[in-house]
Structure 1
């Protein structure tokens, strides 16, 4: 039996965006005894991503459409399903009477927090209070708490300890996402890291951290997926503010100061590499 503990009952259809997550910088500090990694990162979000719609229903139904729907995995083990169950507080873990439609526009295993972004959007759309949503997010995965907020945050620990960013001087900056259409799982990239601590996350504004930071997962990811180096080279040839891999890859991003510069870069890369996936937006 469903025992809803939402902030407000869901009386009608609600919809929103599961914003693409990028890591403007990601510094790995050490591997912990529990097998997880201590890291420091600056999460940022693009104003584009998967589209989520939720409506009351007689029984739970997860509808998956879009280019990457087939990669979402079994319904019972999907982060969307788990977020909905946790949000509705079913005492026995029963599926809540909701119809959730995910238009899967973000590639899976791509460093964009796709599943985490979907889970965060579900928690927001179901009106779960901030503190409870963060607790649920931590139980679901390391990126989910940041994706619940979907605003720039400094993440520490495994990424779940969040601090607000004082100066978001990249708000509205153009962001071009490019993926060579090669999935890359996080585990092997962490395993291939050389375990050398190259220092902490820089301090300052978003731009300071972007320009003075790095992604320590980029070198091992390139070893496992050499196409990432090709994507980075193509992006850097468009003269962005900065181009870097996001998360554990294989998606890379480039930041531009003007919409025209981003549009020109998107057209240039699409013409040269028509098989690559790309998405353009602005930083939230």
Structure 2
């Protein structure tokens, strides 16, 4: 039996272009990962199966469409050899449909665990190809380290050198449909440039990171707020708090993040938010990784 963290993914910025003839949107995004997330465990089993527990277990199904099982079966096919039968346990600690890459992160964790525990002779490139086949965030979430994603999410390059960032994640408890967010974006026509923005070689402080990110954006933020106004309420609250250096939606919502100057500020902000809005999911974390 072995376990690993499937860290929450946070889009520090996310630029989305107009869809191509196939309906896919090009993008440019700086992704980083938190020291908090779901936990995936692998163990010998009689069949490839999945047990889900944790605070958000009721919102997920363990049927064949779950990304953990899809990842396992895809890797078995890629191995092209008999593979010992394993089962998985998923402790679902992240909200579902929350813009934190939970499903892709869980799949990535399952792939890493299988390759390591079963000693499969599959190199990084082949493992990454399997992860990419499972979704746009798949390859980035496999390694769970800061990365710049371009194209349709498949072109990955190292992120600028960033300090570890103290942050607070906040979700109002509303699942946000990614397809609906993209439909709103398409209807608005408010597409951004997906050319790589000027990148500093290194960012030394949280204040520098927030200042640089403030001139960038998340093009899915406005449609996410339109789909789920509660996300807008979270953003408005975060941006009014003194500890917040920058507040933004992650991915297609509905989780927002606030960057803070230090762990003391992040702790104070998280505690106050928990008292102000006890129905919100609030987690203090550190962004940067890799934590997996």
Q: Same fold (TM over 0.5)?
A: yes
1:235 aligns with 2:230: no
Structure 1 residue 31 corresponds to structure 2 residue 19:
yes
The structural deviation recorded for 1:259 is 0.4
Q: Distance in 2 between matches of 1:46 and 1:191?
A: 29
Displacement of 1:234 after TM fit? Answer: 1.5
2:250 maps to 246
Give the Cα separation in 2 of the matches to 1:157 and 1:49: 26
Comparing 193-202 with 44-53, greater Cα deviation is found at: 193-202
Deviation at residue 70 of structure 1 after TM alignment = 2.0
Instruction: Call closer, same or farther: CA 1:272–1:14 in 2, change over 3 Å.
Output: same
| Candidates 154, 162, 187, aligned match of 1:160 | 154
Q: Contact 1:90 / 1:96 at 8 angstroms: preserved in 2?
A: no
Uncovered stretches (5+) of structure 1, i.e. residues with no partner: 1-12
Distance in 2 (CA, whole Å) between partners of 1:96 and 1:141 is: 26
Q: Deviations over 1:127-153 (max 9, x none)?
A: 253111210111100011100011111
| Matching residue within 85, 93, 110 for 1:105 | 93
Where does residue 204 of structure 1 map in the other structure? Answer: 199
Q: 1:267 aligns with which of 268, 271, 277?
A: 271
Task: Give the direction of change, closer, same or farther, for the CA distance of 1:211–1:37 in structure 2 (3 Å limit).
Answer: same
Q: Within 2, Cα distance between the matches of 1:90 and 1:145?
A: 16
- Deviation sequence 1:180-220 (CA, Å, 0-9, x none): 00001100101101223333453224626523210010111
Contact 1:201/1:209 (8 A) holds in 2:
no
CA-based RMSD = 2.1
User: In structure 1, what is the equivalent of residue 137 of structure 2?
Assistant: 143
1:69-108: CA deviation from partner (whole Å, max 9, x where unpaired): 122224211100011112223789x996212110000011
Q: CA deviation at 1:166?
A: 3.2
Partner Cα separation in structure 2 for residue 91 and residue 281 of structure 1? 36
Question: Does the C-alpha gap of structure 1 residues 132 and 267 become closer, same or farther in structure 2, counting only changes over 3 Å?
Answer: same
TM-score (norm 2): 0.87
- When residues 79 and 209 of structure 1 are mapped into structure 2, their CA distance, relative to the original with a 3 A threshold, is farther
Q: Which range moves more in the overlay, 185-194 or 65-74?
A: 65-74
Name the structure 2 match of 1:187. Answer: 179
Alignment partners' CA distance in 2, 1:110 and 1:97: 31
Maintained 8 Å contact 1:27/1:201: no
Q: 1:115 Cα shift?
A: 0.4
Structure 2 counterpart of 1:10: none
Deviation at 1:235, TM superposition (A): 1.3
* Structure 2 spans left out of the alignment, 5+ residues: 116-121, 204-208
For residues 40 and 209 of structure 1, the distance between their equivalents in structure 2, rounded to whole angstroms, comes to: 16
Using a 3 Å threshold, how does the CA distance of structure 1 residues 80 and 188 change in structure 2: closer, same or farther?
A: same
Deviation at 1:126, TM superposition (A): 1.8
Q: Provide TM-score, normalisation by structure 1.
A: 0.89
Paired residue for 1:47, among 16, 24, 35? 35
The question of 1:20 aligning with 2:8 is answered: yes
**Structure 2 CA distance for aligned equivalents of residues 247 and 217 of structure 1:** 7
> Out of 215, 222, 225, which is 1:222 matched to?
225
